[in-house]
Structure 1
Amino acid sequence: MFLFIFFWIVFALVVGVLAAGRGRKGFGWTILACLISPPLAAAFLFAIADRSPHAREPVAQTHTGCPHCEGRILCEARVCRHCGADVSV
């Protein structure tokens, strides 16, 4: 029984750390996970929006659309991997 309670608390702490990484209050999510269950609290956590500052950062623009077939290719590509057209400028 002690082992079950130990793992319950450890997993609740893991949920708290995950919540803090997603811009939520880690202590509150740890308490919530202890009261309900850590897997259920984790499911709730990942179901709601991410509030962390890095969630709103723009993604690096590494791909672009091929002008011929609109397939996603690297910006540095010379030939489209989808249609084989020359895309070098």
Structure 2
Amino acid sequence: MPANQTGNCVFVGYDQNGVPKYCSMRGCNPNRPFKQDRIHSDKSCPFHIPGSDNSKLVYVCEFTIGAMSHATLSKLNELNWRADHRISNGGAKKES
């Protein structure tokens, strides 16, 4: 079903070879909250907003939306949001 019909967002984390390993799904409709990580998602391959190759600065956020919000706030404050790396650790809960 297309995203515009479900109102959900899907965030994907990839390993170093570009293979999808982590999937976080979140609802965008406040009247129908939805939060789920895909079963067998590997949180050691988090959602990542890459920075420039010469940057050593990494912002670690709890969730994907935090990483995206940080990038947005940087841009709104006229900072180069593409300069530094951002990752999300997918929350503190570990799947059993």
Question: Which one has the largest radius of gyration?
Answer: 1
By percentage of residues, which structure has more strand?
2
Regarding TM over 0.5, the answer is: no
Question: Using CA pairs below 8 Å that are at least 6 residues apart, which structure has the higher relative contact order?
Answer: 2
TM-score (norm 1): 0.23
